[in-house]
C-alpha cells in the first residue's frame, strides 16, 4: 500500500549533515518522522528496529571524507589566494591547527559561498537517497516535502 507522508526538509537536512559517529538517524516510512539515537543504544532498541522490516531507514552519516571533498572542491574554485593558503594549511593537519569554520569567519563572502555549496551538496545527497529508497520521484509532488 502506497501512502504519502509529510517530510520535514530541515530535519532531513540536519540528519544528513550529521558527522557524529556515535549518533544514528532514522526515517520512519509510516509517519515521516526523523529521529536519532546513540549508536550504543540497548540491544532491545536495535531488535525492534530490525523487526519492523523496512519501516525505519537509517540515514547515512556525513563522513569526514565527503566533507573534505566538498572543501577541496571549494578550494579549487577559490580566487582569494590568502584564504586558499590558510584553508589548505588547515586541511593538512600540520600545526598551527585551525578549523575551517574559524578561518572562514574572517571571510564572510567566501563563508557564504561554502555554505551555499554545502547546501547544494546536501540537497542533492538527500534527493538521491529519497529516490533510491522510493520515497521521492519526479512524479512525487514537492508539496510533500516541507
Domain boundaries, the chain: 9-62, 64-120
b/e sequence 89-119, b meaning 16+ C-beta within 10 Å: ebeeeeeeeeebeebbeebeebbeebeeebe
Q: Residue 144: pLDDT above 60? A: no
- For residue 96, whether the previous peptide bond is cis, meaning omega lies within 30 degrees of 0, is yes
Spatial distance between the Cα atoms of 68 and 59, rounded to a whole number of angstroms: 20
Q: Residue 24: pLDDT above 60? A: yes
Q: Residue 113: pLDDT above 90? A: yes
pLDDT tens-digit profile of 3-23? 688 888 899 999 999 999 899
- The DSSP bridge partners found for residue 59 are 25
Say if residues 17 and 70 touch (Cβ distance below 8 Å): no
- Would you state the pLDDT for residue 125? 92
- Would you state the pLDDT for residue 111? 96
As a whole number, mean pLDDT of residues 85-111 equals: 92
Q: Residue 94: pLDDT above 70? A: yes
Classify residue 54 as left (phi > 0), alpha (psi -120 to 50) or beta. Answer: left
- Would you state the pLDDT for residue 145? 52
pLDDT tens-digit profile of 31-54? 999 999 998 988 888 898 889 888
Amino acid at each position: 500500500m502506497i501512502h504519502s507522508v509529510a517530510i520535514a526538509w530541515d530535519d532531513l537536512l540536519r540528519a544528513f549533515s550529521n558527522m557524529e559517529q556515535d549518533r544514528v538517524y532514522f526515517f520512519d516510512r509510516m509517519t515521516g518522522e526523523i529521529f536519532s539515537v546513540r549508536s550504543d543504544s540497548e540491544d532491545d532498541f536495535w531488535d525492534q528496529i530490525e523487526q519492523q522490516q523496512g519501516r525505519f531507514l537509517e540515514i547515512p552519516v556525513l563522513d569526514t571524507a565527503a566533507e573534505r571533498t566538498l572543501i577541496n572542491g571549494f578550494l579549487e574554485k577559490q580566487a582569494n589566494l590568502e584564504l586558499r593558503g590558510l584553508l589548505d594549511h588547515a586541511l593538512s593537519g600540520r600545526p598551527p591547527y585551525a578549523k575551517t569554520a574559524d578561518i572562514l569567519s574572517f571571510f564572510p563572502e567566501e563563508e557564504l559561498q561554502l555554505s551555499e555549496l554545502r547546501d547544494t551538496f546536501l540537497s542533492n545527497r538527500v534527493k538521491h537517497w529519497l529516490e533510491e529508497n522510493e520515497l521521492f520521484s519526479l512524479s512525487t509532488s514537492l508539496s510533500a516535502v516541507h
